[in-house]
């Protein structure tokens, strides 16, 4: 097991790569070309370009590390296979592609490092504000270098829960009822929902269709900021099984210690 001080060093790498990718994406905002994936979700040429920029940097620095990325790769990869190394970088070049494709500056670039399937370092660049959230296991969560913590308030009229789209998933009756007692938000980028929880802007997230690249950095951010992170049944997300298809759903339910159990109970009724 590496020395935990290693995670600080890798956090710095994640920050640099997330900012590099986010800056590259912002330069393409408003002129990207949009296509459709097999599942009909949108992808732009900028998604691929940002991903390529980040992978090129990782390939030069850590060619012995594995990578898992959202967008399909063409040709041979310059990185190790996840089955051959405990180190695996997980990258979402543009989380919020629908927003980005329509010229809306509401998206994020997320970079995280897993060690033996557990996130140990990560960063999320928030294009809406230009800020960067970062985290290292055992060292807390930061916003632009300043420590952040959850705002754990009792359930009340201002409790805010971030819900993702339910287009491919039926909404549980308990979640429908929860709509009547809390405020709900969906900015279109799961990474941002999680970063905002860590900073105390939002109280919880309920997202049944997230993928590994959506939650690797954000899940660690919430945990290190003092929150609770599980799947929709209250089980730990980690270690992640990297033998599963990379685009397999990995639902997340996370938030403050006061609100998480309320949303969990609603999700199971």
Q: Among 82-91, 142-151, 162-171, 238-247, which is the least confidently predicted range?
A: 162-171
User: 68, 246 in Cβ contact below 8 A?
Assistant: yes
> Where is 204: in which H helix or E strand?
strand 204-207
| Residues facing 207 on adjacent strands | 252
Summarised one tens digit per residue, pLDDT across range 81-118 is: 888 899 999 999 999 999 999 999 999 999 999 999 99
Q: Determine the Cα angle at 181 with ends 175 and 185, to 5°.
A: 70
**Distances 147 to 86, 136, 225, 259 between C-alpha atoms, Å:** 28, 12, 8, 22
Work out the number of other CB atoms within 10 angstroms of the CB of residue 78: 12
Confidence check: pLDDT of 77 > 60: no
Distance between CA atoms of 104 and 201, rounded to whole angstroms?
A: 20
Q: List every span in the chain annotated with CATH 3.40.190.80.
A: 160-267
If one looks up domain 5-148 in CATH, what number appears? 3.30.540.10
Q: Count the residues in the chain.
A: 269
Residue 97, SS3 per DSSP: helix
Q: List every span in the chain annotated with CATH 3.30.540.10.
A: 5-148
Model confidence at 261, pLDDT cuts 50, 70, 90, reads very high
> Where is 259: in which H helix or E strand?
none
Summarised one tens digit per residue, pLDDT across range 4-59 is: 678 999 999 999 999 999 999 999 999 989 888 777 788 999 999 999 999 999 99
Confidence check: pLDDT of 218 > 60: yes
Distance between CA atoms of 119 and 234, rounded to whole angstroms?
A: 18
If one looks up domain 160-267 in CATH, what number appears? 3.40.190.80
Distance between CA atoms of 46 and 34, rounded to whole angstroms?
A: 9
Closest to 87 (Cα-Cα) out of 69, 109, 57, 64: 64
> Where is 40: in which H helix or E strand?
none
Nearest 5°: phi and psi at 94? Answer: -140, 105
Burial 1-26 (b: 16+ CB within 10 A, else e): eeeeebbeebbebbbbbbbbbbebbb
What angle separates helix 190-198 from helix 212-224, to the nearest 10 degrees? Answer: 0
**Long-range pairs for 172-178 at CB < 8 Å and ≥24 separation?**
172/266, 172/267, 172/268, 172/269, 173/269, 174/265, 174/266, 174/267, 174/268, 174/269, 175/206, 175/263, 175/266, 175/267, 177/266, 178/262, 178/263, 178/266
Closest to 9 (Cα-Cα) out of 86, 114, 121: 121
What local confidence, expressed as pLDDT, does residue 72 receive? 66
């Amino acid at each position: 097991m590496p020395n935990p001080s290693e995670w600080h060093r890798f956090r710095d790498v994640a920050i640099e790569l997330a900012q590099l990718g986010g800056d590259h994406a912002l330069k393409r905002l408003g002129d990207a070309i949009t296509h459709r994936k097999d599942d009909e979700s949108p992808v732009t040429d900028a998604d691929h370009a940002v991903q390529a920029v980040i992978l090129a940097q990782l390939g030069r620095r850590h060619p012995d590390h594995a990578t898992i990325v959202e967008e399909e790769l063409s040709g041979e990869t310059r990185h190790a296979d996840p089955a051959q190394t405990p180190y695996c970088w997980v990258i979402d070049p543009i989380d919020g592609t629908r927003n980005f494709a329509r010229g809306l500056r509401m998206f994020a670039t997320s970079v995280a490092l897993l060690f033996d399937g557990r996130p140990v370092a990560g960063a999320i660049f928030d294009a809406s504000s230009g800020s960067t959230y970062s985290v290292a296991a055992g060292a807390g969560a930061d916003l632009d270098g300043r420590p952040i913590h959850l705002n754990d308030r009792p359930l009340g009229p201002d409790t805010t829960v971030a819900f993702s789209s339910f287009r491919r998933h039926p909404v549980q009756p308990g979640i429908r009822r929860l709509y009547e007692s809390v405020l709900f938000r969906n900015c279109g980028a799961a990474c941002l929902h999680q970063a905002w929880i860590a900073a105390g802007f939002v109280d919880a997230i309920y997202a049944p269709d997230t993928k590994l690249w959506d939650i690797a950095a954000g899940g660690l951010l919430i945990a290190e900021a003092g929150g609770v992170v599980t799947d929709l049944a209250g089980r730990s997300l980690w270690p992640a099984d990297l033998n599963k298809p990379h685009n397999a759903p990995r639902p997340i339910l996370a938030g403050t210690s006061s609100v998480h159990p309320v949303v969990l109970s609603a999700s199971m009724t």
